Structure 1
Amino acid sequence: MKKLLSVFFIVLFVASNAQESKETANRFFYELTFKPKKDSVKLEKVIAILDITGKKSIYQDYTVPAQDSIIKVAVEEIEKTKAWKDVSKLIKMPKFSYKIVKNYPDMKEQYIDRISMNLFGYDDDVKFNWNILSEKEKVGEYNTQKATTEFGGRKWTAWFTTDIPFQDGPYKFYGLPGLIVKIEDSEKNYSWKLSGNKKINNYEEMSYSDKINAKYGVPHTVTPTTKEKFDKAYAAFKLDPMAEFRQKVTPEMMSMKMPGSDMTIGEFGKKQEKMAKDFFNANDNPIEINQTQDKKKK
């Protein structure tokens, strides 16, 4: 049962950080509006969060952490009844699986994501050349000032507020004299807007999903790597997302039924493979388009 659960939690695609902390954090909620396809007219929206402690900030898609209570109830039922339950039917999967950690005060960035059951992180040397303009604007409840920069092959316009004294922002953005309240590229492929914030006492980096992953054998310790090695391994994972699954499940096990279910392990694997490929195919419009162009040249 434990092995089958560990296989399932691969598909959550939730990046978990190596250490758990309990401290006070400021959580900023951003509404991210984006074009998933380059030629898409339809826009999609997700909520992303930026958690800021005294030591660092962590940016991620809020989709899975927001459903912790639903996942907790489902997992506790599975553990109590010893019967399989397809949790993927109950929860909405994230659009973005990575975390971005900025370590204070030097703002050294680390990009963290999972490849199958393994969690990897690489240092990302990101520098911004901001042009701070005199133009000011009210964005929501905040008095903000305009700034522009170029990053990832796109031109960006940001609005920051000195009312919130964090020189940080969503995704990889940072370095203005206050928190970035809104930022979008010139073609409006990606746009973040601050939608709320709250203070969290006894803050823990690991969500319930992270803890369940760790409990059932999915490592939550970050393995250091380089960007080049990560990109190569991630590309291979996208082509065959269930390769590690097949290595762990014998041909005899493929025809076995999931506990308390009519679904075989083989059928389960095929379903998860489709989910994984749907996840990867849902977005062909990366935030940093120059990375895609660089890969095509190689």
Structure 2
Amino acid sequence: MKKQLFFFIILTISNSLKAKDIVIIDTTKVSFYYDYTFVKDTNNITELSHDDMVLQVGSHCARFSHLFEVELDSACYKYRDYTFEEQYKYIKDVFTLTCPSKFSYYRLYKNYPKVREYSMEFLSNKSFIRTQEPMDKIWSLEEAKDTTIMGHSCSLATCHYAGRDYRAWYTLDIPISFGPYKFDGLPGLVMRVEDSEKQHVFQLYKIGKRKRKMFYVEQDNEIKANPEELCGIFRNNIQQRYRQVTGGKKLQFDDPSMNARLANYVISYNNFIERY
């Protein structure tokens, strides 16, 4: 699998450095760090995976992405005028961070480019898919305040989104109407959110006040799609990749057992947070 990791690193750098534009859209005033715990494989619901996600909140907009993507975009912008070899020399330390899983390889923008709208850039195989969606979730608020998270009293709210039922705990102590992923629009910051089966859970674990630039990344090879189409593309890519690995045309290893492991790895990512 080291070979696969190496190619992932090179692909990630290349995609970031070949971006059409990496532009500053705001200054982050506060960052909220979430542990994203998820079941990636519906055939193995007892195995949990984790990703480190960051919600950056600025004066006008917000961005939610993997910690790796935040650091990589910052480094690529800083060394944008260097050659590829020089850039890699300076940004290679970013890869000491855990890389995002297939489910978290996205940058989600809130209130940018349009107000009250999500814009999400999602990497699927070698293509970037750009989706746009209104920020219009309908929440049902509960009066009870019986949960404390990181010392903050929290209230409960529920909603249905993209094929799942969710519970979210938010606090009025932090009057920011944002949360992890697309769980926004409540009277305070969302501290925790989980689906009814607890297969996708976001839990706040740290708050940072460091000011830093917030970047928007626009790719040359973007494909426009709506959220439903994104899920279809994601599923089709998994199936296509699985057929390539098992069909004998693009075997990755000489050892059949390694190819079998790779095939199982590819097909195991079948439980994306959105399901239409």
TM-score normalised to structure 1 length: 0.64
Determine which structure has more spread, i.e. the larger CA radius of gyration.
1
Amino acid across the alignment from 1:108: E
Answer yes or no: is the 8 Å Cα contact 2:28–2:56 preserved in 1.
no
| Maintained 8 Å contact 1:57/1:102 | yes
Give the AA of the match of 1:160.
Y
Q: CA 1:285/1:118 → structure 2, altered by over 3 Å: closer, same or farther? A: closer
What RMSD over aligned residues (CA atoms) do the two structures have, in Å?
Answer: 4.3
Corresponding residue to 1:102 among 101, 106, 110: 110
Q: Aligned-pair distance for 1:34?
A: 1.4
SS across alignment from 2:10? helix
2:34 alignment partner AA: Y
| Structure showing the higher strand proportion among its residues | 2
- Unmatched 5+ stretches in structure 2: 1-5, 245-249, 254-258
Q: Which amino acid aligns with 1:20?
A: V
Task: Specify whether residues 229 and 193 from structure 1 end up closer, same or farther in structure 2 by C-alpha distance, changes over 3 A only.
Answer: closer
Equivalent pair of 1:121/1:225 in contact (CA under 8 Å): yes
Aligned to 1:35: 39
For residues 117-128 of structure 1, the aligned pairs below 5 Å read 117-128=126-137
TM-score (norm 2): 0.69
Alpha carbons of 1:123 and 1:46: their partners in 2 closer, same or farther (altered >3 Å)? Answer: same
Q: C-alpha separation between the residues in 2 aligned to 1:13 and 1:195?
A: 32
Specify which of 44, 47, 50 is matched with residue 49 of structure 2.
44
Cα distance, 1:148 vs structure 2: 1.1
* 2:269 match: 283
Which residue of 1 is the match for residue 122 of structure 2? 113
Contact 2:38 2:50 in 1 (8 A): yes
Q: Residue type of the partner of 1:226?
A: A
Deviations 1:53-99 (A, max 9, x none): 12211111224545789999xxx9x936x99xx99996643112112
Q: How many residues align?
A: 241
Provide the secondary structure at the position in 2 that maps to 1:93.
coil
Conservation of the 8 A alpha-carbon contact between 1:24 and 1:202: yes
Q: Pick from 8, 11, 20 the counterpart of residue 23 of structure 2.
A: 20
Task: Quote the residue 1:9 is aligned against.
Answer: 10
Paired with 1:23 and 1:190, the residues of 2 have a C-alpha distance of: 29
Task: Return closer, same or farther for 1:222/1:40 CA change in 2, 3 Å cut-off.
Answer: same
> Secondary structure at 2:55's aligned position in 1?
strand
Q: 2:179 aligns with which of 164, 169, 183?
A: 169
Gap change, CA 1:230 and 1:165, over 3 Å in 2: same
Find the partner of 1:151 among 144, 161, 176.
161
SS of the equivalent of 1:54 reads coil
Residue 8 of structure 1, CA deviation:
6.2
Structure 1 residue 237 displacement after superposition: 4.4
> What is the deviation of 1:9?
3.2
The answer to whether structure 1 residue 57 and structure 2 residue 62 are counterparts is yes
Which stretch shifts more, 220-229 or 20-29? 220-229
Once the two structures are superposed, the pairs formed by residues 231-270 of structure 1 within 5 Å of their partners are: 234=234, 237-238=237-238, 239-240=240-241, 270=252
CA separation of 1:222 and 1:141: change in aligned 2, threshold 3 A: farther
- Contact 1:46 1:63 survives alignment (8 Å): no
Report the CA distance shift for 1:113/1:14 in structure 2 as closer, same or farther (over 3 A): farther
Instruction: Give 1:145 shift.
Output: 0.9
